[in-house]
A and B are shown apart, each in its own frame.
Chain A
Amino acid sequence: MPPPPLPPSAPAPSSAPRAALPRLAPLLGHPVSVGLLAVVLAGTAGLGLVLGAGTTPATAWNALAEGMFGSPYAIGSSLNSAAVLALIATGFTAAHRAGLVNVGGEGQLCAGGLAAAAVGLALPAGVPAVLGVPLVLVAGFAAGAAWAGIAARLRTRRGTSEVITTLLLNFIGVGLVSVAVHEEALLRQPVTSSETLPQSAPLPEGARLPLIGGIESPATAIVVIAALAAVITGVVLRRTAVGLRLRSVGHSPAASARLGLPVARLETGGLAFAGGAAGVAGAGLVAMAPSVLAEHFSSGYGFSGLVVGLLARGSLTAVAAVSLLFGFLTNGGINLQLAAGVPASSVQIVQSLLVLFVAAAMFATTRNRSTS
């Protein structure tokens, strides 16, 4: 019985640790290496899908690359997508720090978009951008936060799981947008013929997000906002008392309450911020070309943002990286379908596989820790 050498992985906790991890485990446990490994595996699966669609890998790659960064237009719209995802994932990360899982990004995004459209359309046509844009974004934040606040209140008052409530609120949010753009009494543009689309009138010029990449690129200020949000959130979570309090509540609500932390307020705040960030993302989607609120304007961003947040596993650096990856992949996927005839859904399959692999890796790395 030769006992194998054990790595000194843990610094001697008194409550004897569980059986050893392999030496690789601490490295594998790092968010970045988990992400990389998952990307490689999912990429391999993607290759299989491409071949299955009867396209050569080279053609597919060219189409994908063209859609991702083949032109200033491609880069700009990829960046916009990435920014929307990053906002949602940033909020998810903040709420997750407080131990809450926000799966309601989609609904909060819809609430934000709805409020942004309502406010934007209520503004006079000649509103200056300095006033219009912040108003639209703040409306989005407030509406998203309020939407998430419903779930937060149910959680802190009644103990209802926020996973359930935020998830269900998604359907209501999506439905509300649909109702709003179908009813002329609400936000639908004036119906002049049977051709009139069920969507809102375009926002006034002063309520639209300014472009940041010149005429050629559709990249808007949402990219800057998302970057700022990620950086500030990262700093707050790491370097301030609020971040520490959120973490404490996330680890142990009971001990945090005993220590005098306002647990309910911190949880509500964390979830409301997540909703607010998703709301800003929704406002951004409404306030960029074509600057209307349309049915399905959310196009699943809320769920993809959740996936980004899950993959990033609490690291805001990873949020930025994964958002960019997903943003570019999504845009590339559209071109993949247009140019190479590979269904865009294969990109979605690859993204979903990514999540599966990361979840598996998370399971493998946490299972070996003390489970008591």
Chain B
Amino acid sequence: MSATAPALEISGLTKSFGTMRALDDVRLVVEAGTVHCVLGENGAGKSTLCHVVGGSLVPDKGVLRLYGTPYAPRRPADALAAGIAMVHQHFSLVPTLTVGENLRLLRLRDLPRRVARVREEYGLEPDLDARVSDLPVGVRQRVEIVKALLREPRLLVLDEPTGVLGPAETDALLATCRRIAAAGHAVVLVTHKLGEAARAGDAATVLRAGRVAGGGPLAELPPERLVPLMIGRPAASLDAGLAGTIGLTEDRPSPGAGASAGPGTGASPETGTSGAERRRGPGALRLSDVGVRRADGSYALDRTSLDVGFGEIVGIAGVEGNGQSELMALLGGALAPDTGRVELAGRDITRAAPRERTRAGLGVVPEDRHREGCVPQLPVAENLFLGRLDRFRRYGVFLDRRAMNHAADAVLTGHGIRSGGPGALMSSLSGGNQQKVVLARELALDPLVCLAAAQPTRGLDIGAVGAVHSRIRQASAKGTAVLVVSSELSELLVLCDRIVVAYRGKLLGPVDPSQPDARERIGALMLGADHPAGSGTEGAGRAAATAPRPVPGDAPRH
């Protein structure tokens, strides 16, 4: 490609929503043949920038040039015509169709050849016959990327693509980015994870509050310099958990990632000795022999057992699609298991309705915030108190909105949630603040026996991650059992007392995160490769249960 014309050149880009300036005089140059990272916390304007480049938002001001020619997209079709492919945070797949049918919706000529090309060049091979709704989120994301690559774009824009991917998938994606760049095209990788930027990027631009805070070749920008640009304060002020979520510690298999987390992080069991009076011991949440069959007859959960003790934080690691979603649905009450039982503090809740679970003290932070965690079209106050409206009565019949808003105000302040007040629609909040609302609601349960949170920090900025983690630790310190499902291994390592690994419907492990080789062992378990007897891949989940080492999570129980 010509050295003179950059793949994408943006200058003076400004975009406001109402009084808020999402982008303010943004300048960005992406050279052809490079991977350019756009870094920044959530709400920094990254997504807005993507939407402008992708033609779904028209900027207020600013000039865009694509390979030297002026580029002023009015609609997404313009971007496609110009050879720009976008992969957004939210999927644009038709869930009721198969992958192949979704690809055919693109109406591209000689699709089989293109699919073959993507497979050969990038090693991405989607299962064309799988129905999208049956696929785990991580796989859907891969299909999205395949969709984008099928158009053989000159510029590929990826908006937080790794949020839903496991480590191996992330590696594969980053390698794909490098390949696209090596082919002479350009990749804009929008992320809040520095580790990824360092591994895959050539150059970076850091956005903070809609402005360009800095940038340049990544060779000259080590994480120590990037972090202050991103968050406006030095990197040293981050604790290990936060550093983990932005990928700072991702590259170093540091044995101290968990142990060095410091006091109050609850990373190691002995830090939790301070409160003698709080409830301890096993049995807060107990799953025994829980089995869930998928429609195709395979086991989403294969006679799994798990015990989460009072005051204990148990993490579930693993590549998505190994039963974690079903486990959460099971706990939330959306799914009844085919076999086994679920007990909360000794009480059988296997078939209890969500309302009874809530009453019994099971808080659930669902994986899909928009669909299950909250009602985006309703205000914040309503979202906080929908389950407890009886508390806000006036004259016996009317809803006391004033009292409700008042109570909501207290929660918003107490949890540091930034919003337009209790009356603001949930959908107007940033992802981090939405998650804080969901968490605040679940933590407010009384009694709170157990909190089950799936991907509690996905898509959250660093500050919000810190807030969510400290809330979880506080709850645990009060004796609440906590179950965290996360694809962020670093997060689990600093947060949990014990980590089990979901693999083909089994929970393998546990692994003590304070052990020096915890990361490696979990990585091995994620591939199902922990047991010495593991000869083939078939039946690996079952083999694990009978392996000589006492690895399965149910070993201590039965």
Residues in A lying within 8 Å of B, measured CB to CB: 1, 3-6, 8, 10-20, 239-241, 243-245, 247-248, 251-252, 254-262, 372
Top 5 A-B pairs, shortest CB-CB distance: A12-B17, A260-B355, A8-B18, A241-B389, A1-B72
Q: Complex: how many Å from CA A11 to CA B429?
A: 10
Q: Mark B143-181, 1 if CB is under 8 A from A, else 0.
A: 000000000000000000000000000000000000000
A contact residues around B399 at 8 Å (CB): 239-241, 243-244
Are B397 and A240 in touch, CB under 8 angstroms?
A: yes
Q: Complex: how many Å from CA A245 to CA B388?
A: 11
Among B246-254, B368-376, B514-522, the one that faces the other chain is: B368-376
Q: A258-B334, A372-B90 in contact; A16/B60 too (CB < 8 A)?
A: no
Question: Among B61, B334, B386, B399, which residue has the most Cβ atoms of chain A within 10 A?
Answer: B386
Are B92 and A372 in touch, CB under 8 angstroms?
A: yes
A contact residues around B62 at 8 Å (CB): 3
Are B22 and A3 in touch, CB under 8 angstroms?
A: no
The answer to whether B245 has its CB under 8 Å from any CB of chain A is no
Among B31-39, B51-59, B256-264, B491-499, the one that faces the other chain is: B51-59
Are A1 and B386 in touch, CB under 8 angstroms?
A: no
Residues in B lying within 8 Å of A, measured CB to CB: 16-20, 22, 42-43, 47-48, 51, 56-63, 70, 72, 74-75, 90, 92, 332-334, 353-355, 357-359, 364, 366, 371-378, 382, 386-387, 389-390, 392-393, 397-399, 420, 424, 427-431
Give min CB distance, A30 to chain B, whole Å. Answer: 18
Question: Among B16, B47, B60, B375, which residue has the most Cβ atoms of chain A within 10 A?
Answer: B375
Determine the residue in chain B with the shortest Cβ distance to A240: B399
Give min CB distance, B164 to chain A, whole Å. Answer: 16
Give min CB distance, A305 to chain B, whole Å. Answer: 26
Are A244 and B386 in touch, CB under 8 angstroms?
A: yes
Q: Complex: how many Å from CA A14 to CA B19?
A: 13
Determine the residue in chain A with the shortest Cβ distance to B429: A14
Give min CB distance, B444 to chain A, whole Å. Answer: 12
Are B428 and A251 in touch, CB under 8 angstroms?
A: no
Are A3 and B387 in touch, CB under 8 angstroms?
A: no
Are B378 and A251 in touch, CB under 8 angstroms?
A: yes
Q: A14-B43, A248-B386, A252-B371 in contact; A260/B92 too (CB < 8 A)?
A: no
Determine the residue in chain A with the shortest Cβ distance to B388: A260
B contact residues around A14 at 8 Å (CB): 42-43, 47, 428-431
Q: Complex: how many Å from CA A3 to CA B64?
A: 12
What would 15 A/B residue contacts be, using CB atoms closer than 8 Å? Answer: A3-B60, A11-B420, A12-B19, A12-B20, A12-B22, A13-B427, A14-B42, A16-B48, A16-B57, A241-B390, A241-B399, A248-B382, A252-B374, A256-B386, A260-B354
Give min CB distance, A304 to chain B, whole Å. Answer: 30
A contact residues around B22 at 8 Å (CB): 12, 16
Are A6 and B60 in touch, CB under 8 angstroms?
A: yes
Are A254 and B59 in touch, CB under 8 angstroms?
A: no
Are B378 and A247 in touch, CB under 8 angstroms?
A: yes
Give min CB distance, B453 to chain A, whole Å. Answer: 13
A contact residues around B353 at 8 Å (CB): 260, 262
Q: Complex: how many Å from CA A4 to CA B60?
A: 7
Q: A8-B17, A8-B18, A17-B17 in contact; A261/B355 too (CB < 8 A)?
A: yes
Are A6 and B58 in touch, CB under 8 angstroms?
A: yes
Are B51 and A261 in touch, CB under 8 angstroms?
A: no
Are A258 and B354 in touch, CB under 8 angstroms?
A: yes
Q: A8-B19, A11-B18, A257-B334 in contact; A245/B372 too (CB < 8 A)?
A: no
Determine the residue in chain A with the shortest Cβ distance to B386: A259
B contact residues around A372 at 8 Å (CB): 90, 92
A contact residues around B359 at 8 Å (CB): 260
A245 interface neighbour in B47, B59, B389, Cβ under 8 Å: B389
Are B374 and A255 in touch, CB under 8 angstroms?
A: yes
B contact residues around A245 at 8 Å (CB): 386, 389
A contact residues around B60 at 8 Å (CB): 3, 5-6
Q: A1-B72, A19-B57, A248-B375 in contact; A10/B18 too (CB < 8 A)?
A: yes
Are A258 and B19 in touch, CB under 8 angstroms?
A: no
B contact residues around A16 at 8 Å (CB): 22, 47-48, 51, 56-57
B contact residues around A251 at 8 Å (CB): 375-378
Q: Complex: how many Å from CA A225 to CA B371?
A: 39
B contact residues around A5 at 8 Å (CB): 60
User: A17-B57, A260-B357 provided; 11 other pairs, C-beta below 8 A?
Assistant: A10-B18, A15-B47, A16-B51, A19-B74, A240-B399, A244-B386, A251-B377, A255-B374, A256-B375, A257-B354, A262-B353
A contact residues around B357 at 8 Å (CB): 260
A contact residues around B373 at 8 Å (CB): 255, 258
A contact residues around B42 at 8 Å (CB): 14
Are B47 and A3 in touch, CB under 8 angstroms?
A: no
Give min CB distance, A253 to chain B, whole Å. Answer: 10
Q: A19-B58, A240-B398 in contact; A260/B387 too (CB < 8 A)?
A: yes
A contact residues around B48 at 8 Å (CB): 16
Give min CB distance, A6 to chain B, whole Å. Answer: 6
Are B58 and A4 in touch, CB under 8 angstroms?
A: yes
Q: Complex: how many Å from CA A255 to CA B20?
A: 29
A contact residues around B390 at 8 Å (CB): 241
Determine the residue in chain B with the shortest Cβ distance to A7: B18
Are B70 and A11 in touch, CB under 8 angstroms?
A: no
Q: Complex: how many Å from CA A4 to CA B372?
A: 38
B contact residues around A243 at 8 Å (CB): 399
Question: Among A5, A6, A14, A257, which residue has the most Cβ atoms of chain B within 10 A?
Answer: A14
Q: Complex: how many Å from CA A260 to CA B358?
A: 7
B contact residues around A8 at 8 Å (CB): 16-19
Q: Complex: how many Å from CA A245 to CA B393?
A: 14
Are A254 and B389 in touch, CB under 8 angstroms?
A: no
Q: Complex: how many Å from CA A280 to CA B74?
A: 53
Q: Complex: how many Å from CA A8 to CA B20?
A: 10
Q: Complex: how many Å from CA A18 to CA B63?
A: 20
Q: Complex: how many Å from CA A255 to CA B438?
A: 11
A contact residues around B398 at 8 Å (CB): 239-240
Are B17 and A13 in touch, CB under 8 angstroms?
A: yes
Are A255 and B427 in touch, CB under 8 angstroms?
A: no
B contact residues around A3 at 8 Å (CB): 58-62, 72
